[in-house]
Structure 1
């Protein structure tokens, strides 16, 4: 597997939509971000997007693995790559937002991210359609951070 940056015009929107169901949101943050893809042969199997937010802080805006390739450690490798890229850029803190429950929360906490804030009603305010996981609607968003 190879992980490499690509021009934002080549960002795999279909994969990014796996993690963020709003194409408008994705297009907005892609303009100010760095997108990396994971490939196996010629196939793109995963992606992530990070963005500088100022004062030595970056945000992981999106990370996604193609459904047929989940459970193979690709997400973990993508997250490690993002963490290392931020470290190499001299970032002092890498942040992200995620739901208050689900496998994503465990995934990030296992990598050392800690909860730093709760954004009440985030998914109700910023998404036109409700987002459900395991039959439960996402309402609030957790902000997590990894300090360097």
Structure 2
């Protein structure tokens, strides 16, 4: 009987913790800017006022579920464009396996690195840290398993 009570208590505690981490209706917030128009966008940590609520975008075909940072480099003059590097940050969507990852593309005269992430204002730097929710959730699961192991 004691084992069932401990298991129920551990499961209930985990569910309560999970419920407090999930915020229904909260929208993703990303930095949105282009360093070609606003030099602050090229900073490693852009100003907070460049953060935008992604739910304000209207697109019937896609739901904005991630933040994106693109670094475009034009290596030499092409079609009248001088060598340049631009940083573009935005809300986005992606139906591929590149969520929370980076990839590179290159072509005639230039290249770009595209990184995406799924937590608020995460498109500030190249490396996307693990989300706080994921870390706390993994700690809760580990604690629950440890507690269940003691009861057995």
Same-fold status (TM-score > 0.5): no
Bigger RCO (CA 8 Å, 6+ sep): 2
Scaled by the length of structure 1, the TM-score of the pair is 0.27
More strand by share: 1
Scaled by the length of structure 2, the TM-score of the pair is 0.26
